Amino acid sequence: MSDAPLIRIRHLGKGYVRGEQAIPVLLDIDLDVARGDFVALMGPSGSGKSTLLNLVAGIDKPSSGTIEIDGVDIASLGERQLADWRAANVGFIFQFYNLMPVLTAFGNVELPLLLTSLSGRERRERVEAALALVGLTDRADHYPNELSGGQQQRVAIARAFVTDPVLIVADEPTGDLDRHTGEEVLGLLEQLVSTLGKTIVMVTHDPKAAARAHRVVHLEKGVLVDAAGMA
Amino acid sequence: MFLLRLLLKNAFRHRLRTSLTLVGLVVAVCAFGMLRTILEAWYAGVETSSSTRLITRSNISLTFALPLNYAQRIRGVEGVRTVSWANWFGGVYQTERNFFPQFAVDPVTYLALYPEYRLPDDQKQAFFRDRQGAVVGRKLAEKFGWKIGDQIPIRGTIYPGTWTFTLRGIWDGAEARTDESQLLFHWALINETLRQTMKRRADFVGVYVLGIDDPGNAAVISQRIDAVFANSVAETMTETEAAFQLSFVSMSETILVAIEAVSLIIIVIIMAVMANTMTMTARERLAEYATLKALGFPPGFVVRLLFGESLLIAAIGGAIGVAATLPLAAAFGKAVGTILPAFQVSPMTMSLQAGAALGVGLVAAAWPAWRMSRIDIVQGLRHVA
């Protein structure tokens, strides 16, 4: 495995223009995240942590600076290339799970695999393995509305790693769960890092959730305030 | 396969909404089909007219009769093969509501000109022999339950008195759209009576029906005939049977244009309803489409989802609508009976119905598909929160 950081962010800036007013959200961010790291992004509301996560995930475009992930400057990719890059390299975990209500747990986990060249049998094997890892083998045929919040988030976690991405981004993954279920979900994320070697960047408000990460990065008013931010 | 599965599941996610949209679509497609069929039935006489038949009538008006002795002179015109004639009888069978056309004709020549009226030879000969005899189309006979040998009393309005005919034959149309709603009887019967009662009205015919050799010469033959009677007491106007029929249709042209406009308005209305449904659907699924795009699905996938769902609903609604039009048209045709004798849903109408349904599906999805393909992923994901 290379010693180079998986994520290398330099002079990253992001702002919006509303009417005639320019609103800066992120200012000159420099951040490295090593392979297999588990980073928590913390900060008050409006600090820019979700924006930073979106930029790292390739679902938003920076106003300035570079974001290199596994050697690829994703800021320079076009819409279509970025979509392909996300499909191959990023797994998503959302606060409200964002599962397709018309698909079963199996169907939801299989969804990102439909963008690969895997055969039906290979997809089935992968989905079964992912569901087994999150402990939902017996719920494969259940629809999201037949699952609890914690179970839905576990399905979302299985969907996030089933394609074997280098990076998993999680936006408040325990935000909609009770403490006990949240603990279980965090345990699963830790397991993804420790056993599968995944790199996770997680946004959270919860200091207890952040404490489970290897590293905590604080943002305030669009600026990194934690000197430990640089790896 | 996955896309199709997703389309089916999405289409019936809100069963009530989809069902109501389908009901609207079925009603619209049905109504469109029925109105088109009414239009076609109105024009049926024009479409089923023969290119080898000409009609000669008074140049002043159809209500003015022509002398019987014109027959001999018309027969002498180059290009004319057969000459027959007919008078509109306009009688009432039992009540005015039982309307059907009755014509006093010269039986032998008239039936020779209308080979599409398929009458068994024995019935034809029986009709020729019996001056009190009449023949009717199958639809008319079935409507009133008439059988061969039945007496049919008809109260005359143009020709006073009650005229009782003996049914000698029932014809079947050569095609589905051939008129089977008329009653034909001997012109000689009314002429003999007129000779005795109203001599002044005897030996006149309503129109001459002519058979010609070459449809390509119809215009020339028409001119030749009208030239023969130019500057006479009763000048003629000769035209093809299609033009003659069209002159009746054109009398109700405003109504026909209105019917056509309504049929199109119905489609536009259902298009708006369906577009509203698809827009609501798309807005509700904003976060799902954003999630799909975040996972790496291209914008085209979202477009296919929306167009596919819209077309699926339109196809189901259209298919049910077309299927429902057939029994509805049959029932309507039975109800209106002889007023619109050839009331049948044509393959062209069914194609138009299917095309309209699919058009509705395409147009309805266009705006939401365009919008959803361009949604910002971050904004879309925020829609959940």
Distance CA A144, CA A211 (A): 29
Three-state secondary structure call for residue B291: helix
Cβ contact A98–B381 (<8 Å): yes
Cβ contact B9–A95 (<8 Å): no
For testing contact with chain B, the best of A111, A162, A168, A172 (most B CBs within 10 A)? A111
Chain A residues in contact with B301 by the CB 8 A cut-off are: none
Question: In chain A, which among 65-104 make CB contacts under 8 A with chain B?
Answer: 79-80, 83-88, 92, 94-96, 98, 100-103
What b/e sequence results for B272-290 when a residue is b if at least 16 CB atoms lie within 10 Å of its CB, and e otherwise? ebbbebbbebbeebbbbbb
DSSP per position, chain A = --SS-SEEEEEEEEEEEETTEEEEEEEEEEEEE-TT-EEEEE-STTSSHHHHHHHHHTSS--SEEEEEETTEEGGG--HHHHHHHHHHHEEEE-TT----TTS-HHHHHHGGGGGS---HHHHHHHHHHHHHHTT-GGGTT--GGGS-HHHHHHHHHHHHHTT--SEEEEESTTTTS-HHHHHHHHHHHHHHHHHH--EEEEE-S-HHHHHTSSEEEEEETTEE--GGG--
Closest listed residue to residue B317, CA positions, set B9, B6, B15, B27: B27
Chain A residues in contact with B2 by the CB 8 A cut-off are: 114
Residue B162: exposure state from Cβ atoms within 10 A (0-12, 13-18, ≥19)? exposed
Structure tokens at B224: 């030749």
Chain A residues in contact with B291 by the CB 8 A cut-off are: 92, 94, 98, 100
Lookup result for tokens 């690829």: A72
User: For B384, which of A92, A96, A102 is closest by C-beta distance?
Assistant: A96
Distance CA A211, CA A215 (A): 8
Q: Which ipTM did the prediction report? A: 0.92
Find the residue in A nearest to B13 (Cα).
A102
Does residue A231 carry a pLDDT above 60?
Answer: no
- As a whole-number percent, the residues of chain A with pLDDT over 70 amount to 97
Q: pLDDT at position B385, please?
A: 41
Find the residue in A nearest to B14 (Cα).
A102
Q: Decide: B152 and B146 in contact? Cβ < 8 Å.
A: yes
For residue B154, report the phi and psi dihedrals to the nearest 5 degrees: -130, 130
Cβ contact B295–A86 (<8 Å): yes
Find the residue in A nearest to B9 (Cα).
A102
Chain B residues in contact with A95 by the CB 8 A cut-off are: 384-385
Three-state secondary structure call for residue B148: coil
Query: How many residues can be counted in chain A?
Result: 231
The sign of the dihedral angle between the CA atoms of A103, A190, A56, A89 is: negative
Distance CA A193, CA A45 (A): 27
Instruction: For chain B, say whether A59 makes contact (Cβ under 8 Å).
Output: yes
Distance CA A112, CA A28 (A): 33
Rounded to two decimals, what is the model's pTM?
Answer: 0.74
Closest listed residue to residue B357, CA positions, set B307, B313, B305: B313
Cβ contact A100–B288 (<8 Å): yes
Mean residue pLDDT across chain A: 92
Distance CA A210, CA A114 (A): 33
Chain B residues in contact with A80 by the CB 8 A cut-off are: 298
Chain A residues in contact with B287 by the CB 8 A cut-off are: 98
Q: pLDDT at position B338, please?
A: 65
For residue B173, report the phi and psi dihedrals to the nearest 5 degrees: -70, 145
Q: pLDDT at position B41, please?
A: 84
Distances (CA, A) of A176 to A182, A184, B47: 8, 13, 70
Structure tokens at A186: 């965090």
Cβ contact A100–B296 (<8 Å): no
Question: How many CB pairs lie under 8 A apart between chains A and B?
Answer: 59
Lookup result for tokens 């975990």: A93
Instruction: State the pairing for strand pair B207-212/A223-224.
Output: unpaired
Structure tokens at B112: 């020779």
Residue B91: exposure state from Cβ atoms within 10 A (0-12, 13-18, ≥19)? buried
Q: Where are chain B's structural domains?
A: 2-45+253-382, 60-234
CB atoms within 10 A of CB B115: 10
Distance CA B206, CA B105 (A): 10
- As a whole-number percent, the residues of chain A with pLDDT over 90 amount to 85
Cβ contact B294–A86 (<8 Å): yes
Which domains are delineated in chain A? 7-229 (3.40.50.300)
Distance CA A226, CA B286 (A): 36
Q: Decide: B89 and B159 in contact? Cβ < 8 Å.
A: yes
The sign of the dihedral angle between the CA atoms of B84, B88, B89, B95 is: positive
Tens of each residue's pLDDT in chain B, 385 residues: 788 888 999 999 989 999 999 999 999 999 999 999 988 888 776 777 778 899 999 999 888 999 999 999 999 999 999 999 999 999 999 998 888 999 999 999 999 999 999 999 999 999 999 999 999 999 899 999 999 999 999 999 998 899 999 999 999 999 888 889 899 999 999 999 999 888 888 999 999 999 998 888 899 999 999 999 998 989 999 999 888 887 777 777 788 889 999 999 999 999 999 999 999 999 999 999 999 999 999 999 999 999 999 999 999 999 999 999 999 999 988 777 666 767 889 999 999 999 999 999 999 999 999 999 888 999 998 875 4
Q: Decide: A201 and A169 in contact? Cβ < 8 Å.
A: yes
User: For B298, which of A60, A80, A96 is closest by C-beta distance?
Assistant: A80
User: For A87, which of B287, B295, B299 is closest by C-beta distance?
Assistant: B295
Residue-wise pLDDT for A20-36, tens only, equals 888 899 999 999 999 99
Average pLDDT in the A59-85 region? 93
Distance CA B310, CA B357 (A): 10
DSSP per position, B66-106 = EETTHHHHHHTSTTEEEEEEEEE---BSSSTTS---EEEE-
